[in-house]
Chain A
Amino acid sequence: MTPRASTHPGENIEIAITGRGVVSSIAEGPDAFFDALLDRQSGIVDGGAPCSEFDPETAMTAKAARRSDRYTQLAVCAAAQATAEAGLPGDVDVERLAVLVGTGVGGLKTLEDECRKFIDGGVRAVSPLFVPMMMPNAAAGMIAIELGAHGPGFSVSSACATGSHAIGEAKRMIERGEADVVVAGGTEAAMTPLCMAAFERMGALSRQGISRPFDKRRDGFVMGEGAGVLVLERADFARERGAKIYGYVVGYGASNDAFHMTQPDESGRGAAKAMRAALADAGAEPSDVGYINAHGTSTPYNDRIETLAIHHVFNGGSPPVSSTKSAIGHLLGAAGAVEAVAVLGALARGILPPTLNFGEPDPDCDLDYVPDGPREAPGLELAMSNSFGFGGQNACLAFRKA
């Protein structure tokens, strides 16, 4: 790898990942999750990928769980894993400990329940917990309360790019010197009747109920739920306190398609711009990248245009690409954060997770999607993860092996 000048201020600050947490339909916990991906397990049942075994009270009191929408419960559990792994708060100055956990849509179950109660029973029927449960910053707030984190805290929201934007913005927050340690990620629990109906009406959901990214037969995404949370911190700080480092966040790039609220720009220019910006931030060349964890939703549009964008950036030299959504469906605001955990697993173990359900190649999707994986990748040093959200908002992250 030939490093060149980074384009971003704070370039000399190395940012380590010292904690990882995942709640998904195939596993809870980062190592179990990556093992399940390598084992080609699928969490998709009847066209959806719910976290059926999830019990919020493993990480929260019964009272805190009752006061939280499912999207917050998932995030608190993922954060509990990540912060335990990182040994937080430990010796960390809680005044410089931040929480930046986002969601695409917030507490939809709560919103639906309370709307129904309001229509049926009027004002008195509405729960006083409605707002603090539904609001999209509730997960970040609850994690900060559990952790006693007094640094900056808020939610970012960019639909299906939320998790990646959160991690990228956490990187920036540390670079700007606003925090030493940031608990960052994304969470989503949008498998509610109203939301499922809306995505179905939009034509975004797979009618076959199969997530088969980049396959010619793909016909939409499969909805999943879950949360992914990472602990990011200054690497010098992590080493000083003796924290184990699971990888480094070395690049973050973001862009707008500025084209359409739900369709990606046909030219792939927005996606390509985010990837190029992440590479520039990492001070890396395309040829340094050994793996891309795709946005890979299994919609006809995304997978074709993402492929095109990768061609623009890698100019015929694309590394292998795979989609975690083939196993756990689309986690919307949690997707980028959960997929970051998959990328860290690939880097740490030198193995690429597969794209499941890939059988019929599409001439418009002509990259190596690791359909036969898992695949050994012993020299893997640098990997990227793409996330593209409704609204045309794109984020790309680059991670380096520890």
Chain B
Amino acid sequence: MAVTRDEVLEKIRDELESIKVPNAREATPDNTWSDLDVDSLDLVELVKALEDEFAITISDDDLKPIESVGAAIDLTMRLVEEGAPA
């Protein structure tokens, strides 16, 4: 499954919007969770949305260093790639 960075960003914006994060549609890869006022409970919902959308599994260890939208995109891209058939 080929996924573009823009597609992942759009999915992140969709989920942030659905959990009522203010200005979700303007979120950029540079934004940290702290910029967006996204907390640990929001992240649980975001992770589930990304897992469901891209058929990946994000472990707690994977998630720990992820502090920005850009880092979440990178992680998602990597996991999608790792899961793709050779």
| A15-23, A59-67, A96-104, A360-368 - the one binding chain B | A59-67
Cβ contact within 8 Å between A128 and B19: no
B22 within 8 A of A: yes
A129 within 8 A of B: yes
* Distance in angstroms between the alpha carbons of A62 and B22 in the assembled complex: 8
Number of B interface residues in the complex (CB < 8 A): 8
Cβ contact within 8 Å between A66 and B41: no
Cβ contact within 8 Å between A63 and B41: no
Chain A residues with Cβ below 8 Å from B67 are none
Cβ contact within 8 Å between A128 and B45: yes
Interface residues of A in 326-383 (CB under 8 A from B): none
Cβ contact within 8 Å between A128 and B20: no
Cβ contact within 8 Å between A128 and B44: yes
B21 within 8 A of A: yes
Chain B residues with Cβ below 8 Å from A67 are 41
Cβ contact within 8 Å between A66 and B22: no
Number of A interface residues in the complex (CB < 8 A): 11
Chain B residues with Cβ below 8 Å from A129 are 41
Contact of B20 among A62, A124, A127, A132 (CB under 8 A): A62
* Distance in angstroms between the alpha carbons of A66 and B22 in the assembled complex: 12
Minimum CB–CB distance from B73 to chain A (whole Å) comes to 22
Minimum CB–CB distance from A395 to chain B (whole Å) comes to 35
Cβ contact within 8 Å between B20 and A66: yes
Chain A residues with Cβ below 8 Å from B21 are 63
Interface residues of B in 2-46 (CB under 8 A from A): 19-22, 41, 44-45
Chain A residues with Cβ below 8 Å from B78 are none
Cβ contact within 8 Å between A63 and B20: yes
Cβ contact within 8 Å between A61 and B20: yes
Q: Mark A57-81, 1 if CB is under 8 A from B, else 0.
A: 0000111011100000000000000
Minimum CB–CB distance from A122 to chain B (whole Å) comes to 12
* Distance in angstroms between the alpha carbons of A380 and B19 in the assembled complex: 51
Cβ contact within 8 Å between B22 and A127: no
Cβ contact within 8 Å between B45 and A127: yes
Chain A residues with Cβ below 8 Å from B44 are 128
Chain A residues with Cβ below 8 Å from B19 are 63, 66
Contact of A61 among B22, B41, B45, B48 (CB under 8 A): B22
* Distance in angstroms between the alpha carbons of A67 and B21 in the assembled complex: 11
Chain A residues with Cβ below 8 Å from B45 are 127-128
User: Max chain B CB contacts within 10 Å: which of A61, A128, A132?
Assistant: A128
Cβ contact within 8 Å between B22 and A124: no
Given contacts A61-B22, A62-B20, A66-B20, 7 further A-B contacts (CB under 8 A): A63-B19, A63-B22, A65-B20, A124-B48, A127-B45, A128-B41, A132-B41
- Point out residues on A near B: beta carbons under 8 Å: 61-63, 65-67, 124, 127-129, 132
